[in-house]
Structure 1
Amino acid sequence: MASTDDIRRNASARTGAQAGYAGDVTPEEAWAFLEQQPDAVLVDVRTREEWMFVGLPLLQPLGKEPQLISWQVWPQMAPNRDFTNALAEAGVGREQPVLFLCRSGARSRAAAIAATAAGYETAFNIAGGFEGDVGPDGHRGTVNGWKAAGLPWFQN
């Protein structure tokens, strides 16, 4: 298993310093980081509807719960103007490592950039997101992402 220092180096190397956030991590690296860093937090930035109907990462084996803070608001998918305030209200400290997750990695990258701009010291994007890219069969969840990696998740 990679150390947290290795994960940080890999994320930075993948993304580059010019990206405006700590970098991209794979779902497996995110799990290892959450496991090794007691203060690390996962923030799922998808919509309430996605949490309800698609599923959520299951972090109880790590003694953690994901923070659920939408980056965009359904149905207009308008940006959540209170996003960084909501991070603080959820108790996410600016010094804590934060891993952002969305469906495929696009919204979570934007959230990581915004969090970094707001003073969060270590904001990662989980590349591939929860469901990952669309596979050859036209479905998500089989090519990459949290689900395809076989990481714990549940659906209500």
Structure 2
Amino acid sequence: MTRITRLTHAAACALGLAFLSGTAAIAAEDAAGITTSVTPDTLPAKKQTEPGLYITAAEAAALLETRDDVVLIDVRTPEETMFVGFPTVADANIPYLNVDPAHRHNPERGSYAMTHNPGFVPATLDLLDQTDARAALVMCRSGGRSASAVNALAGAGVDVPLYSVVDGFEGDKNEAGKRTVNGWKNAGAPWTAKIPAGFLHEAD
């Protein structure tokens, strides 16, 4: 979905998502005019960032219904976006980490190893330059990788406000280990698994 098309969505969707976000405690607006209910000191260390800017998935969805000057960057692997889905309003998929091509096994995590994407920062800088965004929302599965990605961008000198979506696309796990607590999908925000041409963004 293009950034302009977002503005044509029904206002009722935005209001419903804002209600789901639990916006009882609203923080002060940043330079881009974004408010959020996230209290930084309640976040685990792995979800905290150097810029200290955070937003929930439900709040992000509501925001993007009315703002065409804010970009949403999905930093998960292309495989995740293809098999699990991604927000229809996401501007680009720029992986922060990729699955190790050799599929080395990580016994502690019970998964395949991940490797850093050397093109992550250049590709993101390229996207921000193309869109002239006033702020960027960075999303992963549940808020860990997005925090690391935000720190990498901040360290590279990105000067637009960088928000980590603290609950990501799938959300945190419940006591049974299921991702049903929060996140973009659980908020009922629009998503798809149909990858459009050019969604995977790479620097020229």
Pairwise same-fold verdict (TM > 0.5): yes
Q: 1:92 aligns with which of 128, 131, 144?
A: 128
| Native 8 Å contact 2:49 2:150 kept in 1 | no
- Equivalent residue, structure 2, for 1:72: 97
Q: Deviation string for 1:4-41 (max 9, x for gaps)?
A: 93874536x7227x941251101121123223332110
Q: Tell me if 1:38 matches 2:76.
A: no
| Native 8 Å contact 1:14 1:23 kept in 2 | no
Q: Deviation string for 1:78-102 (max 9, x for gaps)?
A: 111221101123x213763000000
| Native 8 Å contact 2:36 2:56 kept in 1 | no
Q: Tell me if 1:154 matches 2:192.
A: yes
Q: TM-score, normalised by structure 2?
A: 0.63
Q: Tell me if 1:111 matches 2:149.
A: yes
Give the structure with higher Rg (CA): 2
For residue 92 of structure 1, give the secondary structure of its aligned residue in structure 2: helix
Q: 1:14 aligns with which of 34, 39, 53?
A: 39
Q: 1:41 to 1:145 in 2, by over 3 A?
A: same
What letter corresponds to residue 10 of structure 1 in structure 2? T
For residue 100 of structure 1, give the secondary structure of its aligned residue in structure 2: strand
Q: Tell me if 1:25 matches 2:50.
A: no
| Native 8 Å contact 1:104 1:128 kept in 2 | yes
Q: Deviation string for 1:124-151 (max 9, x for gaps)?
A: 00011100112244322x2111111111
Q: What is the rounded CA distance, in whole Å, between the counterparts of 1:50 and 1:112 in structure 2? A: 19
- Equivalent residue, structure 2, for 1:129: 168
For residue 128 of structure 2, give the secondary structure of its aligned residue in structure 1: coil
Identity between Structure 1 and Structure 2 (%): 37
Q: What is the rounded CA distance, in whole Å, between the counterparts of 1:19 and 1:136 in structure 2? A: 26
Could you list the runs of 4 or more consecutive aligned residues of structure 1 that deviate by over 6 angstroms after TM superposition? none
What letter corresponds to residue 31 of structure 1 in structure 2? A
Decide which structure has greater helix share.
1
- Equivalent residue, structure 2, for 1:62: none
| Native 8 Å contact 2:70 2:133 kept in 1 | no
What is the Cα-based RMSD across aligned positions, in Å? Answer: 2.7
Q: What is the rounded CA distance, in whole Å, between the counterparts of 2:133 and 2:167 in structure 1? A: 25
What letter corresponds to residue 51 of structure 1 in structure 2? T
Q: What is the rounded CA distance, in whole Å, between the counterparts of 1:126 and 1:30 in structure 2? A: 7
Q: Tell me if 1:101 matches 2:139.
A: yes
Q: What is the rounded CA distance, in whole Å, between the counterparts of 1:28 and 1:107 in structure 2? A: 18
Question: What is the number of residues matched between the two proteins?
Answer: 147
